[in-house]
């Protein structure tokens, strides 16, 4: 730029052009941001804050430290080798008395019962008899319930006095802390969550594989037909995409159940006997069939949009250079579709591992996903901390795949219909 | 005071001529502003029986409006969420005593002074003596005794070989066929132990030991392959009617309904029935609003009336004597009640404290066992 | 996809096998949706074709399940709720989403990628997680079990669809048209209404349709954060399927399939119109 004029270019009002341009850019930056900000603000309140609240809940542990504050304070100097002294027991009695009065011992006893079954009744029985006991409290409490005479009980209270806990995450991966604070597996007969995570992942992988297997030929056909025909066929792909998820699940129940359309047909044409109807629903098969159907459009659409960009002349060139049809397909066409495969597969996989409705309705016992356990802990067992921890783990997995997807495809390139 | 005046004046005018207790109550309510009560219950035939026995007479008498909300299945979660939000919209909730214990300990529901709050029996017996054992909890007042039983379809077994005990349910050799059981450890563990030879009264002592739990699961293992697990109360009668299963565990009222109103060939095995109470709790802060209704809906006559619509036993001794016939079919109800002598001989009372302590752990263990 | 004239016999066979395969896959896609339509006219309370139906005997068919549906106060209340919630959240999502899309399509938008990823995230985060999180948070701020709560939740879920469709429309939008309008003396407002809006409308409308169907079809969030008052149609279906599956559900399903056909047709027409306006297709 050596020959640029020494006098800087100016705009009509005498401001140097560079400055003026910079100003204009800044102004349009601000303008663009202002346009986006109402939506950002809205999403922060309606979506982002709830998510962070859930993450926080998965480690939040206020019960012991607030409801047993005196006990916790007096446990401070305890050596953990022998039973705590009278002062600690007296503090416990005082804490429980207060809790009984304002009636908020329920959350505390639920919290401790998650860690040690039986604590719920230990606390409620003790609280009920508080009116009748006299010092020395140590003997009195142990007489009411010998759980108070166990070292492990006190170690548990001391450990859970911390305002944050890893317990829910540990429980979500079938681990626990021993009374001495060491990490251990839960007993084999209580292991459930890890196997459910794996089942969710591998069934989603199977579903992804199946949608690819079925979606690839269809996308290929759509991309290579004249537009007039492909538009018509595209409607067949979009119709299920636009139809209510519950409707699609219902139809599979109607088709697959043992008194359903498919079994009736098979019996009518004599393929199977009336007593030997196929069990195709309320198990893995049901979940896989229904979800493959539901997610198939999510595979076809990205594949189609990639295949559409591959000029047909490539294949013709490969053929004319002497490649056999299969070879030219494998060496030339297929590699070009890999971005579409990646996009479709990640999309289907992400959607699949988060599905709740379909596995809940057609999954039965063996076709259940980890999402069904989130709902179970939310609504039935009411262990909200554990629900939040399982949901957070699932969220981390989804976000990881989402970032990969974003890197590979770019979310803004997602096309809808 | 104003209210009292109204009542006495009306009394003097001689408008009210009916039984003193009920009438006074009715007038008290009429004198108050008419209100809407949001009452949470289980839905289906059960809500219908409450509607006929309690709600309709009350609405007619007081002019209140009653809204039925079918949320008892998730009542504890609902109460927690509402109280956390500081926005309690429910006035009265029908729930199980185990949930009521938890809700009470969390301060979600009101403690109740039963003798002050509830009506005496017609002969003057105070509520604390008139209600059956366990019916009055700190925050809970039971209205019915219901039972978890196993029923079978009589058409699926030869006439000379019909099952009759809980052990028969676990006997695949003599009584082949699918079974449907609730997808929860509750009841199934109790039954497995009884079928394995444990006396009904010892069931919970045995279940408190690790060997006992293992023994129960081992017994369940013997029929696991033949079991379809249900989750909604409407499923078992359906499966039994379609002959998809030979045996089904269910609430006795649902089976009774299918037997009398749909003429289904079902039979109930009363052996080792696990009976339980069900009744009312009042969300914190709502006691004054529902006080009169609660007194009305738990009096002797109302509980006896409810038994005309559903085969659940009244929770008051004084009502049991008044149980008569089914409202639609005229069937004598007494022998269909869980509390009827012969039915009750080997009954197990569900131990709420045991399940409050071990439900989380045993449910997880049960799910892990199912997944094996 | 015609066969080239130099195709061998093997290729011909493969070609027809391939077409047959594709036909089967299309059948798999659409068949289940079509099969419930006749089933919903079953006179018997079963989920399968009765013999009378197969004989095409008129006695085998009836409208009883439709009658059930249209006379049930529970269903009618649910439909009303679905429309109230669906329309309110669609309006909110469309307004917020369209304004944001205008900003996002500016060349000078700072941190565009990150913001876009955030705006799309409600579509990616599994519904059960959003539902649990919203349940916890909305309970705290008194929004659980209220209409505004459900509407806000559905708005959040519908926003990604509006943002995606409108930004896609804007990215193919020729900005010289705006400059042309300016240079011909139109003020910005006039330019917006006379030039920008007509060209963007198809994108906005299809985004709105997406947002509406998202809300209209949503079960999980409503299941967690709605009270009995806000019971929507999908919730009614959900509990129907779980408890006692009656053919009324099939009647509802049929109506919903028809609705989605209607929406799809609208979208297709919009897309064609959009392409014609922008001169992308011969029309």
Q: Which residue has the higher pLDDT, A31 or B180?
A: B180
Q: Is A306 in the same domain as A245? A: yes
Q: Does A363 touch chain C (CB under 8 A)?
A: no
pLDDT in tens, C155-166: 999 999 899 888
Dihedral over Cα of B78, B80, B85, B86: its sign = positive
Is residue A260 within 8 Å of A179, Cβ to Cβ?
no
Q: Is A241 in the same domain as A104? A: no
A386-414 exposure pattern, b = at least 16 Cβ within 10 A, e = fewer: bbbbbbbbbbebbeebbeebbeebebbeb
Find how far residue A349's CA is from the centre of its chain.
12
Examine residue A385 and state whether it is found in any structural domain, yes or no: yes
Q: Is A198 in the same domain as A134? A: no
Closest residue to C96, CB basis, from A42, A246, A248: A42
Q: Which residue has the higher pLDDT, A103 or B193?
A: B193
Examine residue A178 and state whether it is found in any structural domain, yes or no: no
pLDDT in tens, A359-405: 988 887 788 899 999 998 988 888 899 999 999 999 999 999 888 88
HSE-up of C159 (CA within 13 Å, CB side)? 32
Q: Rounded to whole angstroms, how far apart are CA atoms C59 and A360?
A: 36
pLDDT bin (cut points 50, 70, 90) of residue C111 is confident
CATH code: domain of residue A200: 1.10.3720.10
Strand partners, B68: B39
Examine residue A184 and state whether it is found in any structural domain, yes or no: no
Domain count of the fold of chain A: 3
pTM of the predicted model, to two decimals? 0.86
Q: Which two tokens stand for residue C164?
A: 């995606």
Instruction: Give the Å distances, CA to CA, from B337 to B135, B257, B277, C196.
Output: 17, 13, 13, 74
Q: Is A38 in the same domain as A71? A: no
For the residues A180-199, what does the mean pLDDT come to?
89
Domain boundary at A141, A163, A185, which? A163
Is residue A140 within 8 Å of A134, Cβ to Cβ?
yes
Q: Is A38 in the same domain as A67? A: no
3-state secondary structure (DSSP) of residue A58: coil
Q: Is A81 in the same domain as A29? A: no
For the residues C233-254, what does the mean pLDDT come to?
82
Domain that holds residue A309: 193-413
Q: Is A139 in the same domain as A221? A: no
Q: Is the pLDDT of residue A253 over 70?
A: yes
Find how far residue A113's CA is from the centre of its chain.
26
Is residue B13 within 8 Å of B5, Cβ to Cβ?
no
Residues of C in contact with B71 (CB under 8 A): 228
pLDDT bin (cut points 50, 70, 90) of residue B164 is very high
Q: Is the pLDDT of residue B15 over 80?
A: no
Q: Rounded to whole angstroms, how far apart are CA atoms B50 and B135?
A: 18
Examine residue A177 and state whether it is found in any structural domain, yes or no: no
Closest residue to C139, CB basis, from B85, B234, B238: B85
pLDDT in tens, A58-68: 999 999 999 99
Q: Is A69 in the same domain as A35? A: no
Q: Which two tokens stand for residue C191?
A: 């330019």
Q: Does A293 touch chain C (CB under 8 A)?
A: yes
Q: Is A39 in the same domain as A107? A: no
Examine residue A372 and state whether it is found in any structural domain, yes or no: yes
pLDDT bin (cut points 50, 70, 90) of residue B54 is very high
Examine residue A186 and state whether it is found in any structural domain, yes or no: no
Residue with tokens 């139906």, as numbered in its chain: C53
Closest residue to B86, CB basis, from C138, C142, C244: C142
Domain boundary at A117, A141, A163, which? A163
SS (H, E, C) chain B: CHHHHHHHHHHHHCCCCCCHHHHHHHHHHHHCCCCEEEEEECCHHHHHHHHHHHHHHHHHHHCCEEEEEECHHHHHHHHHHHHHCCCCCCCEEEECHHHHHHHHHCCCECCCCHHHHCCCCCCCCCHHHHECCCCEECCEEEEEEEEEEEEEEHHHCCCCCCCCCHHHHCCCCCCCCCEEEECCCCCHHHHHHHHCCCCHHHHHHHHCCHHHHHHHHHHHHCCHHHEEEECCCCHHHHHHHCCCCCEEEEEHHHHHHHHHHCCCCEEEEEEEEEEEEEEEECECCCHHHHHHHHHHHCCHHHHHHHCCCCCCEECEHHHHCCCCECCCCCCECHHHCCCCHHHHCCCEECCHHHHHHHHHHHHHHHHHHHHC
- Best mutation target among A111, A119, A124 (most B Cβ atoms within 10 Å) is A124
8 Å CB contact of B85 and C144: yes
Q: Which of residues 118-147 of B touch C (CB under 8 A)?
A: none
pLDDT bin (cut points 50, 70, 90) of residue A112 is very high
Residues of A in contact with C23 (CB under 8 A): none
- Best mutation target among A251, A374, A380, A386 (most C Cβ atoms within 10 Å) is A251
Examine residue A5 and state whether it is found in any structural domain, yes or no: no
Smallest Cα distance from A71 to chain C, Å: 29
3-state secondary structure (DSSP) of residue C114: helix
Q: Is A212 in the same domain as A273? A: yes
Q: Is A39 in the same domain as A108? A: no
Give the per-residue pLDDT at B127.
Answer: 92
Q: Is A18 in the same domain as A92? A: no
- Best mutation target among B99, B177, B364 (most A Cβ atoms within 10 Å) is B364
Give the per-residue pLDDT at B131.
Answer: 92
Examine residue A188 and state whether it is found in any structural domain, yes or no: no
For the residues A113-128, what does the mean pLDDT come to?
88
Closest residue to B77, CB basis, from A121, A195, A382: A382
């Amino acid at each position: 730029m050596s020959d640029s004029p020494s006098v800087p270019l100016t705009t009509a009002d005498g401001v140097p052009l560079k400055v003026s341009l910079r100003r204009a850019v800044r102004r349009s930056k601000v303008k663009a941001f202002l346009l986006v900000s109402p939506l950002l603000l809205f999403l922060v309140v309606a979506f982002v804050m709830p998510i962070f609240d859930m993450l926080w809940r998965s480690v939040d542990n206020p019960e012991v430290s607030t409801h047993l504050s005196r006990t916790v304070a007096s446990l401070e100097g305890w050596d953990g080798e022998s039973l705590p002294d009278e002062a600690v027991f007296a503090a416990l009695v005082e804490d429980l008395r207060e809790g009984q009065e304002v009636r908020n011992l329920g959350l505390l006893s639920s919290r401790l019962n998650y860690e040690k079954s039986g604590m719920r009744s230990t606390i409620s029985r003790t609280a009920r008899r508080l009116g009748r006991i006299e010092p020395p409290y140590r003997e009195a409490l142990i007489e009411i319930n010998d759980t108070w005479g166990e070292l492990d009980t006190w170690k548990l209270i001391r450990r859970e006095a911390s305002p944050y806990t890893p317990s829910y995450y540990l429980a979500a991966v079938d681990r626990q802390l021993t009374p001495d604070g060491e990490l251990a597996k839960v007993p084999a007969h209580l292991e459930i969550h890890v196997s459910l995570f794996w089942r969710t992942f591998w069934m989603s992988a199977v579903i992804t594989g199946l949608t690819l297997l079925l979606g690839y030929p269809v996308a290929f056909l759509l991309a290579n037909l004249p537009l007039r025909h492909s538009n018509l066929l595209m409607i067949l792909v979009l119709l299920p995409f636009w139809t209510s998820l519950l409707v699609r699940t219902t139809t599979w129940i109607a088709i697959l159940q043992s008194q359903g359309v498919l079994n009736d047909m098979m019996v009518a044409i004599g393929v199977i006997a009336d007593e030997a109807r196929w069990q195709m629903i309320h198990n893995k098969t049901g979940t896989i069939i229904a979800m493959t159907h539901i997610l198939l459009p999510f595979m076809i659409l990205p594949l189609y949009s990639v295949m559409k960009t591959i000029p047909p002349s490539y294949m013709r060139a490969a053929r004319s250079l002497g490649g056999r049809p299969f070879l030219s397909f494998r060496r030339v066409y297929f590699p070009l579709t890999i971005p579409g495969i990646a996009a479709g597969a990640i999309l289907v996989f992400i959607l699949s591992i988060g599905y709740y409705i379909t596995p809940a309705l057609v999954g039965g016992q063996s076709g259940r996903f980890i999402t069904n356990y989130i709902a179970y802990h939310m609504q039935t067992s009411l262990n909200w901390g554990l629900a939040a921890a399982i949901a957070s783990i699932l969220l981390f997995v989804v976000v990881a795949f989402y970032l990969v997807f974003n890197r590979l495809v770019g979310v803004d390139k997602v096309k809808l219909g | 005071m104003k209210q009292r005046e109204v009542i006495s004046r009306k009394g003097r005018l001689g408008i009210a001529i009916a039984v003193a207790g009920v009438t006074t109550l009715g007038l008290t309510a009429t004198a108050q502003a008419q209100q809407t009560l949001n009452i949470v219950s289980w839905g289906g035939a059960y809500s219908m029986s409450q509607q006929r026995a309690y709600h309709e007479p009350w609405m007619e008498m007081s002019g209140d409006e009653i809204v039925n909300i079918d949320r008892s299945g998730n009542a504890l979660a609902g109460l927690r969420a509402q109280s956390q939000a500081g926005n309690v919209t429910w006035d009265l909730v029908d729930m199980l005593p185990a949930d009521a214990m938890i809700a009470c300990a969390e301060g979600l529901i009101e403690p109740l002074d039963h003798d002050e709050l509830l009506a005496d029996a017609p002969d003057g017996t105070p509520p604390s003596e008139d209600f059956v054992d366990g019916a009055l909890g700190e925050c809970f007042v039971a209205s019915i005794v219901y039972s978890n039983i196993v029923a079978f379809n009589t058409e699926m077994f030869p006439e000379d070989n019909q099952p009759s005990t809980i052990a028969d349910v676990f006997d695949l050799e003599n009584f082949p066929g699918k079974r449907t059981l609730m997808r929860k450890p509750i009841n199934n563990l109790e039954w497995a132990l009884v079928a394995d030879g444990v006396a009904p009264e010892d069931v919970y002592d045995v279940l408190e030991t690790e060997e006992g739990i293992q023994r129960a699961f081992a017994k369940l293992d013997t029929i696991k392959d033949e079991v379809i697990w249900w989750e909604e109360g409407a499923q078992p009668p359906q499966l039994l009617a379609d002959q998809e299963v030979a045996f089904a565990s269910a609430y006795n009222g649902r089976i009774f309904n299918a037997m009398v109103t749909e003429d289904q060939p079902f039979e109930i095995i009363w052996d080792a029935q696990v009976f339980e109470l069900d009744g009312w709790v009042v969300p914190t802060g709502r006691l004054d609003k529902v006080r009169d209704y609660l007194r009305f809906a738990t009096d002797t006559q109302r509980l006896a009336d409810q038994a005309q619509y559903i085969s659940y036993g009244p929770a008051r001794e004084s009502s049991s004597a008044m149980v008569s016939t089914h409202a639609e079919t005229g069937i004598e109800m007494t022998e269909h009640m869980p509390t009827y002598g012969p039915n009750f001989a080997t009954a197990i009372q569900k131990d709420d404290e045991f399940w409050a302590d071990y439900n989380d752990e045993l449910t997880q263990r049960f799910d892990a066992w199912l997944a094996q | 996809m015609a066969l080239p004239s130099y195709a061998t016999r093997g290729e011909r066979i493969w070609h027809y096998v391939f077409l047959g395969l594709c036909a089967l896959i299309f059948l798999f896609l659409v068949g289940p949706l079509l099969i419930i339509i006749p089933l919903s006219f079953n006179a018997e309370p079963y989920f399968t074709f009765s013999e009378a139906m197969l004989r095409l005997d008129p006695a085998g068919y009836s409208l009883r399940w439709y009658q059930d549906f249209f006379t049930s106060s529970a269903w009618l209340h649910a439909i009303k709720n679905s429309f109230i919630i669906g329309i309110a959240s669609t309006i909110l999502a469309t307004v917020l989403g369209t304004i944001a899309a205008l900003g996002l399509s500016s060349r000078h938008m700072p941190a565009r990628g990150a913001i876009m990823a955030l705006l799309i995230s409600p579509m990616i985060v599994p519904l059960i997680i959003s539902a649990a999180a919203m349940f916890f948070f909305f309970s705290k701020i008194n929004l659980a079990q209220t209409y505004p709560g459900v509407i806000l939740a559905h708005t959040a879920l519908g926003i990604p669809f509006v943002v995606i469709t409108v930004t896609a429309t804007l990215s193919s939008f020729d900005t010289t048209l705006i400059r042309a309008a300016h240079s011909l003396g139109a003020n910005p407002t006039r330019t917006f209404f006379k030039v920008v809006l007509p060209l963007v409308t198809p994108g906005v409308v299809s985004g709105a349709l997406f947002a509406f169907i998202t809300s209209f079809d949503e079960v999980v969030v409503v299941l967690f954060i709605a009270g009995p008052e806000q019971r929507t149609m999908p919730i009614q279906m959900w509990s129907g399927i779980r408890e006692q599956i009656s053919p009324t559900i099939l009647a509802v399903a049929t109506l919903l399939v028809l609705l989605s056909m209607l929406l799809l047709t609208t979208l297709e027409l919009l897309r064609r119109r959009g392409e014609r306006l922008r001169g992308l297709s011969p029309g």
